[in-house]
Protein backbone atom coordinates (compact mmCIF):
# COMPACT_ATOMS: atom_id res chain seq x y z
CA UNK A 1 0.00 0.00 0.00
CA UNK A 2 1.25 3.46 -0.89
CA UNK A 3 0.07 6.56 0.99
CA UNK A 4 0.61 10.15 -0.17
CA UNK A 5 0.31 12.84 2.49
CA UNK A 6 -0.41 16.20 0.87
CA UNK A 7 -0.35 19.84 1.91
CA UNK A 8 -2.07 21.89 -0.84
CA UNK A 9 -0.24 25.01 -2.08
CA UNK A 10 -0.45 28.08 0.13
CA UNK A 11 -1.84 31.32 -1.37
CA UNK A 12 1.46 33.23 -1.48
CA UNK A 13 3.81 30.49 -2.63
CA UNK A 14 6.64 28.47 -1.14
CA UNK A 15 8.39 29.29 2.14
CA UNK A 16 11.45 27.60 3.69
CA UNK A 17 9.31 26.15 6.50
CA UNK A 18 8.63 22.42 6.17
CA UNK A 19 4.84 21.97 6.69
CA UNK A 20 4.71 20.28 10.14
CA UNK A 21 1.65 18.14 9.36
CA UNK A 22 3.49 16.19 6.67
CA UNK A 23 6.33 14.74 8.73
CA UNK A 24 4.13 14.31 11.81
CA UNK A 25 1.36 12.41 10.01
CA UNK A 26 4.08 10.31 8.39
CA UNK A 27 5.30 9.35 11.89
CA UNK A 28 1.76 8.60 13.02
CA UNK A 29 1.33 6.37 9.96
CA UNK A 30 4.61 4.57 10.58
CA UNK A 31 3.56 3.98 14.20
CA UNK A 32 0.23 2.49 13.08
CA UNK A 33 1.48 0.43 10.13
CA UNK A 34 5.27 0.17 9.62
CA UNK A 35 5.04 -1.40 6.15
CA UNK A 36 3.11 1.40 4.40
CA UNK A 37 5.06 3.18 1.66
CA UNK A 38 4.79 6.92 2.44
CA UNK A 39 5.32 9.88 0.12
CA UNK A 40 5.11 13.49 1.31
CA UNK A 41 4.06 16.28 -1.05
CA UNK A 42 4.27 20.01 -0.33
CA UNK A 43 2.07 21.60 -2.99
CA UNK A 44 3.78 24.97 -2.61
CA UNK A 45 7.16 23.44 -3.49
CA UNK A 46 6.00 20.99 -6.18
CA UNK A 47 2.70 22.27 -7.63
CA UNK A 48 2.96 20.00 -10.71
CA UNK A 49 3.45 16.78 -8.73
CA UNK A 50 -0.24 15.92 -8.69
CA UNK A 51 -0.49 15.25 -12.43
CA UNK A 52 1.75 12.19 -12.12
CA UNK A 53 1.30 11.22 -8.48
CA UNK A 54 0.83 7.48 -7.94
CA UNK A 55 -0.62 6.11 -4.70
CA UNK A 56 -3.47 4.05 -3.32
CA UNK A 57 -4.66 6.55 -0.71
CA UNK A 58 -4.11 10.33 -0.47
CA UNK A 59 -4.42 12.21 2.82
CA UNK A 60 -4.97 15.94 2.22
CA UNK A 61 -4.76 18.44 5.11
CA UNK A 62 -6.93 21.51 4.57
CA UNK A 63 -6.75 25.05 5.90
CA UNK A 64 -9.47 27.42 4.74
CA UNK A 65 -7.34 29.29 2.14
CA UNK A 66 -6.05 25.96 0.78
CA UNK A 67 -9.45 24.25 0.59
CA UNK A 68 -10.14 25.12 -3.07
CA UNK A 69 -6.76 23.92 -4.38
CA UNK A 70 -7.10 20.90 -2.07
CA UNK A 71 -10.44 20.00 -3.65
CA UNK A 72 -8.94 20.40 -7.14
CA UNK A 73 -6.09 18.06 -6.25
CA UNK A 74 -8.59 15.55 -4.89
CA UNK A 75 -10.62 15.66 -8.10
CA UNK A 76 -7.54 14.89 -10.20
CA UNK A 77 -6.54 11.99 -7.98
CA UNK A 78 -10.03 10.50 -7.77
CA UNK A 79 -10.34 10.57 -11.57
CA UNK A 80 -7.42 8.10 -11.56
CA UNK A 81 -9.06 5.85 -8.96
CA UNK A 82 -7.10 7.12 -5.93
CA UNK A 83 -9.07 7.34 -2.68
CA UNK A 84 -8.91 10.67 -0.81
CA UNK A 85 -9.29 11.36 2.91
CA UNK A 86 -9.42 14.96 4.15
CA UNK A 87 -8.38 16.30 7.53
CA UNK A 88 -7.30 19.57 9.15
CA UNK A 89 -9.07 22.61 10.54
CA UNK A 90 -11.17 23.44 7.48
CA UNK A 91 -12.33 19.87 6.94
CA UNK A 92 -13.27 19.70 10.63
CA UNK A 93 -15.24 22.96 10.45
CA UNK A 94 -16.94 22.03 7.15
CA UNK A 95 -17.09 18.21 7.12
CA UNK A 96 -20.09 17.88 4.81
CA UNK A 97 -18.47 20.14 2.27
CA UNK A 98 -15.19 18.22 2.44
CA UNK A 99 -17.05 14.90 2.17
CA UNK A 100 -18.57 16.00 -1.13
CA UNK A 101 -15.05 16.25 -2.58
CA UNK A 102 -13.46 13.11 -1.10
CA UNK A 103 -14.02 9.59 0.15
CA UNK A 104 -13.55 10.18 3.88
CA UNK A 105 -13.13 13.03 6.37
CA UNK A 106 -11.27 13.00 9.70
CA UNK A 107 -12.93 15.52 12.02
CA UNK A 108 -10.72 16.85 14.81
CA UNK A 109 -7.44 15.37 16.01
CA UNK A 110 -6.14 12.34 14.14
CA UNK A 111 -4.38 10.22 16.79
CA UNK A 112 -7.44 8.32 17.99
CA UNK A 113 -8.77 7.44 14.51
CA UNK A 114 -5.89 7.38 12.02
CA UNK A 115 -4.97 3.73 12.62
CA UNK A 116 -8.63 2.80 12.03
CA UNK A 117 -8.71 4.82 8.79
CA UNK A 118 -5.73 2.84 7.51
CA UNK A 119 -7.22 -0.50 8.58
CA UNK A 120 -10.56 0.32 6.98
CA UNK A 121 -8.91 1.35 3.74
CA UNK A 122 -6.97 -1.91 3.57
CA UNK A 123 -10.21 -3.84 4.22
CA UNK A 124 -12.18 -1.88 1.63
CA UNK A 125 -14.53 -0.50 4.30
CA UNK A 126 -13.48 3.17 4.40
CA UNK A 127 -16.13 5.17 6.29
CA UNK A 128 -17.28 8.64 5.18
CA UNK A 129 -16.60 10.28 8.58
CA UNK A 130 -14.19 9.65 11.46
CA UNK A 131 -14.56 11.68 14.66
CA UNK A 132 -11.25 12.14 16.48
CA UNK A 133 -11.08 12.37 20.27
CA UNK A 134 -8.99 14.84 22.27
CA UNK A 135 -6.53 12.52 23.97
CA UNK A 136 -3.67 13.12 26.41
CA UNK A 137 -0.50 14.01 24.54
CA UNK A 138 1.68 11.28 26.02
CA UNK A 139 3.77 9.14 23.68
CA UNK A 140 3.22 11.07 20.47
CA UNK A 141 5.74 9.91 17.86
CA UNK A 142 8.65 12.09 16.84
CA UNK A 143 7.93 13.55 13.39
CA UNK A 144 9.97 11.91 10.63
CA UNK A 145 12.19 14.97 10.32
CA UNK A 146 14.09 15.11 7.07
CA UNK A 147 11.67 12.86 5.19
CA UNK A 148 10.34 15.85 3.25
CA UNK A 149 13.11 16.74 0.84
CA UNK A 150 13.80 20.26 -0.35
CA UNK A 151 15.54 23.49 0.60
CA UNK A 152 13.78 23.82 3.94
CA UNK A 153 15.52 25.77 6.69
CA UNK A 154 13.01 25.39 9.52
CA UNK A 155 11.02 22.57 11.04
CA UNK A 156 8.52 22.69 13.86
CA UNK A 157 7.74 21.07 17.17
CA UNK A 158 4.53 21.25 19.21
CA UNK A 159 4.49 21.00 22.99
CA UNK A 160 0.81 21.56 23.84
CA UNK A 161 -2.70 21.83 22.43
CA UNK A 162 -5.72 23.85 23.47
CA UNK A 163 -6.42 27.46 24.42
CA UNK A 164 -8.42 28.90 27.35
CA UNK A 165 -9.03 32.29 25.72
CA UNK A 166 -12.22 33.29 23.91
CA UNK A 167 -10.91 35.28 20.94
CA UNK A 168 -13.75 35.25 18.44
CA UNK A 169 -11.51 35.08 15.36
CA UNK A 170 -9.43 32.06 16.38
CA UNK A 171 -9.87 28.45 15.20
CA UNK A 172 -7.57 26.92 17.83
CA UNK A 173 -10.07 26.64 20.68
CA UNK A 174 -12.89 25.18 18.53
CA UNK A 175 -10.45 22.64 17.09
CA UNK A 176 -8.27 21.69 20.09
CA UNK A 177 -10.54 22.63 23.00
CA UNK A 178 -10.41 25.03 25.95
CA UNK A 179 -8.33 22.79 28.20
CA UNK A 180 -4.59 23.05 27.58
CA UNK A 181 -2.99 19.62 27.25
CA UNK A 182 0.78 19.37 27.62
CA UNK A 183 3.32 16.98 26.21
CA UNK A 184 5.90 15.50 28.62
CA UNK A 185 8.93 17.76 28.65
CA UNK A 186 11.39 14.92 28.04
CA UNK A 187 9.52 14.02 24.82
CA UNK A 188 9.64 17.64 23.67
CA UNK A 189 13.40 17.66 24.23
CA UNK A 190 13.68 14.37 22.33
CA UNK A 191 11.86 15.84 19.33
CA UNK A 192 13.85 19.08 19.30
CA UNK A 193 17.08 17.09 19.42
CA UNK A 194 15.90 15.16 16.36
CA UNK A 195 15.40 18.29 14.23
CA UNK A 196 18.32 18.41 11.79
CA UNK A 197 18.50 22.22 11.63
CA UNK A 198 20.01 24.49 14.29
CA UNK A 199 16.98 26.81 14.23
CA UNK A 200 13.42 25.57 14.65
CA UNK A 201 9.87 26.78 15.27
CA UNK A 202 7.73 26.15 18.31
CA UNK A 203 4.36 25.70 16.61
CA UNK A 204 2.22 26.11 19.75
CA UNK A 205 -0.49 28.75 19.61
CA UNK A 206 1.02 30.14 22.82
CA UNK A 207 4.35 28.95 24.23
CA UNK A 208 3.43 29.68 27.84
CA UNK A 209 -0.34 29.31 28.03
CA UNK A 210 -1.72 27.40 31.00
CA UNK A 211 1.16 26.83 33.40
CA UNK A 212 3.94 29.39 33.49
CA UNK A 213 6.11 27.25 35.79
CA UNK A 214 5.82 24.34 33.35
CA UNK A 215 6.98 26.66 30.55
CA UNK A 216 10.00 27.70 32.65
CA UNK A 217 10.87 24.04 33.28
CA UNK A 218 10.59 23.26 29.58
CA UNK A 219 12.78 26.20 28.54
CA UNK A 220 15.38 25.14 31.10
CA UNK A 221 15.37 21.59 29.73
CA UNK A 222 15.93 22.90 26.19
CA UNK A 223 18.95 24.95 27.25
CA UNK A 224 21.42 22.09 26.82
CA UNK A 225 20.50 21.46 23.17
CA UNK A 226 22.20 24.65 21.97
CA UNK A 227 19.49 25.36 19.40
CA UNK A 228 17.76 28.64 18.61
CA UNK A 229 14.04 28.93 18.03
CA UNK A 230 11.08 31.22 17.49
CA UNK A 231 7.55 30.90 18.77
CA UNK A 232 4.18 32.52 19.41
CA UNK A 233 3.37 34.01 22.80
CA UNK A 234 0.76 36.18 24.49
CA UNK A 235 1.60 39.27 26.51
CA UNK A 236 -0.39 38.62 29.67
CA UNK A 237 2.16 36.34 31.41
CA UNK A 238 4.96 38.83 30.66
CA UNK A 239 3.50 41.31 33.14
CA UNK A 240 2.92 38.71 35.87
CA UNK A 241 5.19 38.53 38.95
CA UNK A 242 7.24 35.77 37.28
CA UNK A 243 7.41 37.54 33.90
CA UNK A 244 11.13 38.31 34.08
CA UNK A 245 11.97 34.78 35.21
CA UNK A 246 9.90 33.44 32.30
CA UNK A 247 11.68 35.61 29.73
CA UNK A 248 15.15 34.80 31.10
CA UNK A 249 14.41 31.07 30.92
CA UNK A 250 13.04 31.38 27.38
CA UNK A 251 16.07 33.32 26.12
CA UNK A 252 18.53 30.96 27.82
CA UNK A 253 16.58 28.06 26.31
CA UNK A 254 17.16 29.45 22.80
CA UNK A 255 14.21 31.79 22.11
CA UNK A 256 15.41 34.57 19.83
CA UNK A 257 12.17 35.87 18.25
CA UNK A 258 8.69 36.04 19.78
CA UNK A 259 5.71 36.42 17.47
CA UNK A 260 2.95 38.23 19.30
CA UNK A 261 -0.70 38.44 18.34
CA UNK A 262 -1.35 42.18 18.73
CA UNK A 263 -4.75 41.48 17.17
CA UNK A 264 -6.18 45.02 17.02
CA UNK A 265 -4.93 48.61 17.04
CA UNK A 266 -7.35 49.81 19.73
CA UNK A 267 -8.72 48.60 23.04
CA UNK A 268 -12.19 48.78 21.51
CA UNK A 269 -11.03 46.41 18.78
CA UNK A 270 -9.62 43.98 21.35
CA UNK A 271 -12.90 44.05 23.25
CA UNK A 272 -14.83 43.40 20.04
CA UNK A 273 -12.74 40.27 19.44
CA UNK A 274 -12.84 39.11 23.06
CA UNK A 275 -9.04 39.28 23.11
CA UNK A 276 -8.42 41.65 26.03
CA UNK A 277 -7.80 38.84 28.51
CA UNK A 278 -5.03 37.38 26.38
CA UNK A 279 -3.37 40.69 25.53
CA UNK A 280 -3.72 42.71 28.73
CA UNK A 281 -3.84 46.48 28.95
CA UNK A 282 -0.10 47.23 29.34
CA UNK A 283 0.89 45.71 26.04
CA UNK A 284 3.41 48.33 24.95
CA UNK A 285 5.20 47.99 28.29
CA UNK A 286 5.17 44.21 27.82
CA UNK A 287 6.84 44.57 24.41
CA UNK A 288 9.60 46.73 25.85
CA UNK A 289 10.12 44.18 28.61
CA UNK A 290 10.54 41.37 26.09
CA UNK A 291 13.12 43.34 24.11
CA UNK A 292 14.92 44.35 27.32
CA UNK A 293 15.42 40.63 27.92
CA UNK A 294 17.24 40.22 24.61
CA UNK A 295 14.35 38.80 22.54
CA UNK A 296 13.21 40.26 19.22
CA UNK A 297 9.49 40.86 18.69
CA UNK A 298 7.29 40.63 15.63
CA UNK A 299 3.63 41.66 15.81
CA UNK A 300 0.72 40.11 13.95
CA UNK A 301 -2.54 42.03 13.84
CA UNK A 302 -5.72 42.46 11.84
CA UNK A 303 -7.21 45.49 10.14
CA UNK A 304 -10.56 46.27 8.60
CA UNK A 305 -12.87 44.66 11.17
CA UNK A 306 -16.40 45.98 11.47
CA UNK A 307 -15.40 47.89 14.63
CA UNK A 308 -12.25 49.32 13.01
CA UNK A 309 -11.78 52.69 11.36
CA UNK A 310 -9.53 54.09 8.64
CA UNK A 311 -7.45 55.68 11.40
CA UNK A 312 -6.38 52.21 12.56
CA UNK A 313 -4.34 51.78 9.37
CA UNK A 314 -2.31 54.91 10.26
CA UNK A 315 -2.01 53.87 13.91
CA UNK A 316 -0.31 50.67 12.77
CA UNK A 317 2.47 52.64 11.05
CA UNK A 318 2.93 54.89 14.08
CA UNK A 319 3.22 51.85 16.34
CA UNK A 320 5.77 50.24 14.04
CA UNK A 321 8.04 53.28 14.23
CA UNK A 322 7.54 53.97 17.93
CA UNK A 323 8.27 50.48 19.24
CA UNK A 324 11.01 49.34 16.86
CA UNK A 325 9.40 46.00 16.08
CA UNK A 326 8.55 44.31 12.81
CA UNK A 327 4.85 44.06 12.05
CA UNK A 328 2.76 41.82 9.82
CA UNK A 329 -0.84 42.93 9.22
CA UNK A 330 -3.67 41.09 7.55
CA UNK A 331 -7.24 41.94 6.80
CA UNK A 332 -9.57 40.27 9.27
CA UNK A 333 -10.73 36.79 8.19
CA UNK A 334 -13.90 35.24 9.66
CA UNK A 335 -12.84 31.59 9.44
CA UNK A 336 -15.59 28.94 9.42
CA UNK A 337 -16.04 27.28 12.78
CA UNK A 338 -15.24 30.45 14.75
CA UNK A 339 -17.51 32.74 16.73
CA UNK A 340 -16.55 35.57 14.39
CA UNK A 341 -17.87 33.61 11.40
CA UNK A 342 -21.24 33.31 13.10
CA UNK A 343 -21.21 36.97 14.16
CA UNK A 344 -20.28 38.24 10.68
CA UNK A 345 -22.50 35.79 8.77
CA UNK A 346 -25.14 38.40 7.77
CA UNK A 347 -22.44 40.67 6.30
CA UNK A 348 -20.15 38.19 4.50
CA UNK A 349 -19.87 38.50 0.71
CA UNK A 350 -21.29 35.13 -0.29
CA UNK A 351 -19.84 35.28 -3.81
CA UNK A 352 -16.26 35.02 -2.50
CA UNK A 353 -14.96 31.45 -2.27
CA UNK A 354 -12.52 30.07 0.32
CA UNK A 355 -9.54 31.01 -1.85
CA UNK A 356 -10.20 34.63 -0.86
CA UNK A 357 -9.83 33.81 2.87
CA UNK A 358 -6.09 34.53 2.93
CA UNK A 359 -5.89 37.87 4.75
CA UNK A 360 -5.61 40.16 1.72
CA UNK A 361 -9.29 40.52 0.76
CA UNK A 362 -12.20 42.35 2.36
CA UNK A 363 -14.73 39.57 2.93
CA UNK A 364 -17.73 41.38 4.44
CA UNK A 365 -19.66 44.61 4.42
CA UNK A 366 -18.54 47.42 6.76
CA UNK A 367 -20.96 49.80 8.51
CA UNK A 368 -18.82 52.84 7.59
CA UNK A 369 -19.35 53.82 3.90
CA UNK A 370 -15.77 55.15 3.85
CA UNK A 371 -14.52 51.60 4.57
CA UNK A 372 -15.57 50.06 1.28
CA UNK A 373 -14.01 46.73 0.29
CA UNK A 374 -11.75 48.42 -2.25
CA UNK A 375 -10.57 51.03 0.25
CA UNK A 376 -9.78 48.40 2.89
CA UNK A 377 -7.83 46.27 0.42
CA UNK A 378 -5.86 49.22 -0.98
CA UNK A 379 -4.95 50.53 2.47
CA UNK A 380 -3.92 47.02 3.55
CA UNK A 381 -1.43 46.80 0.69
CA UNK A 382 -0.18 50.36 1.17
CA UNK A 383 0.37 49.91 4.92
CA UNK A 384 1.98 46.49 4.48
CA UNK A 385 4.42 47.70 1.84
CA UNK A 386 5.28 50.76 3.90
CA UNK A 387 6.06 48.54 6.90
CA UNK A 388 8.15 46.30 4.64
CA UNK A 389 9.96 49.16 2.94
CA UNK A 390 13.65 48.49 2.59
CA UNK A 391 14.51 51.40 4.88
CA UNK A 392 12.28 50.15 7.70
CA UNK A 393 13.50 46.56 7.32
CA UNK A 394 17.14 47.65 7.53
CA UNK A 395 16.52 50.08 10.41
CA UNK A 396 14.95 47.22 12.33
CA UNK A 397 18.33 45.46 12.26
CA UNK A 398 19.55 48.07 14.77
CA UNK A 399 16.50 47.59 17.00
CA UNK A 400 16.93 43.82 17.40
CA UNK A 401 18.59 43.02 20.75
CA UNK A 402 22.26 42.09 20.33
CA UNK A 403 21.71 39.13 22.66
CA UNK A 404 19.95 37.50 19.69
CA UNK A 405 22.73 38.26 17.16
CA UNK A 406 23.08 36.98 14.49
CA UNK A 407 20.20 34.48 14.38
CA UNK A 408 17.35 36.92 14.96
CA UNK A 409 18.85 39.41 12.51
CA UNK A 410 19.11 36.81 9.76
CA UNK A 411 15.64 35.50 10.54
CA UNK A 412 14.17 39.00 10.37
CA UNK A 413 15.57 39.54 6.89
CA UNK A 414 14.49 36.07 5.77
CA UNK A 415 10.94 36.61 7.00
CA UNK A 416 10.46 40.16 5.72
CA UNK A 417 12.22 40.49 2.36
CA UNK A 418 10.46 37.55 0.63
CA UNK A 419 7.12 38.77 2.03
CA UNK A 420 7.88 42.24 0.67
CA UNK A 421 8.61 40.77 -2.76
CA UNK A 422 5.42 38.70 -2.76
CA UNK A 423 3.34 41.62 -1.47
CA UNK A 424 4.52 43.87 -4.30
CA UNK A 425 3.56 41.25 -6.87
CA UNK A 426 0.16 40.74 -5.21
CA UNK A 427 -0.51 44.51 -5.11
CA UNK A 428 0.33 44.88 -8.80
CA UNK A 429 -2.08 42.06 -9.63
CA UNK A 430 -4.74 43.62 -7.40
CA UNK A 431 -4.40 46.99 -9.17
CA UNK A 432 -4.61 45.28 -12.54
CA UNK A 433 -7.81 43.48 -11.49
CA UNK A 434 -9.37 46.69 -10.19
CA UNK A 435 -8.38 48.46 -13.41
CA UNK A 436 -10.25 45.84 -15.44
Query: Helices 407-435 and 390-399 meet at what angle, rounded to 10?
Result: 160
- Asked whether the whole model's pTM tops 0.85, one would answer yes
Taking alpha carbons only, the member of 12, 72, 68, 9 closest to residue 44 is: 9
Q: Residue 124 and residue 174: Cα distance in Å, rounded? A: 32
pLDDT tens across 137-182, in order?
Answer: 999 999 999 999 999 999 999 999 999 999 999 999 999 999 999 9
CATH 3.40.50.2300 positions along the chain are 2-131
Neighbours of 176 (CB within 10 A): 19
Each residue of 86-123: b (16+ CB within 10 Å) or e? bbbbbbbbbbebbbebbbbbbbbbbbebbeebbebbee
> What is the percentage of the chain residues whose pLDDT exceeds 70?
99
How far apart CA 4 and CA 55 sit, in angstroms, is 6
State the span(s) of the chain assigned CATH 3.80.30.20. 156-433
**Domain 156-433 adopts which CATH fold?**
pyruvate-formate lyase- activating enzyme (3.80.30)
* Cα 219 to Cα 250: distance, rounded to the nearest angstrom: 5
Q: What is the pLDDT of residues 21-79, one digit of tens each?
A: 999 999 999 999 999 999 999 999 999 899 899 999 999 999 999 999 999 999 999 99
- Torsions phi, psi for 53 (to 5 deg): -65, 135
CATH number of 2-131: 3.40.50.2300
Measure the CA–CA gap between 410 and 278, rounded to whole angstroms. 29
What is each CA distance from 342 to 276, 302, 347, in whole angstroms?
A: 20, 18, 10
Check residue 280 and give its pLDDT: 66
Check whether 322 has a pLDDT greater than 90.
no
Amino acid sequence: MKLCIIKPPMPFGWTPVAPPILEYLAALTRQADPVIDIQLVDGSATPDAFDTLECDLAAISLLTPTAVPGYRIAAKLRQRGIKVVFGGMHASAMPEEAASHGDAVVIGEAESVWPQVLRDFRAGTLQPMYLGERLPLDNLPTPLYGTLKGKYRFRGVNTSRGCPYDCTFCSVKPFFGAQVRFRPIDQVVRDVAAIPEKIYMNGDENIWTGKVERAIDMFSALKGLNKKWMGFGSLGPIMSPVGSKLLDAAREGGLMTLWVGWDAMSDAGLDAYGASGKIGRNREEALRKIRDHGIDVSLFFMLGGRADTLADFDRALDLCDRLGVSMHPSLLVPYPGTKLYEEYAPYIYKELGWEYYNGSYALYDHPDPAMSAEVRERRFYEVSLEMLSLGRVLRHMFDIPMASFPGAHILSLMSQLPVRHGMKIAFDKWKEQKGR
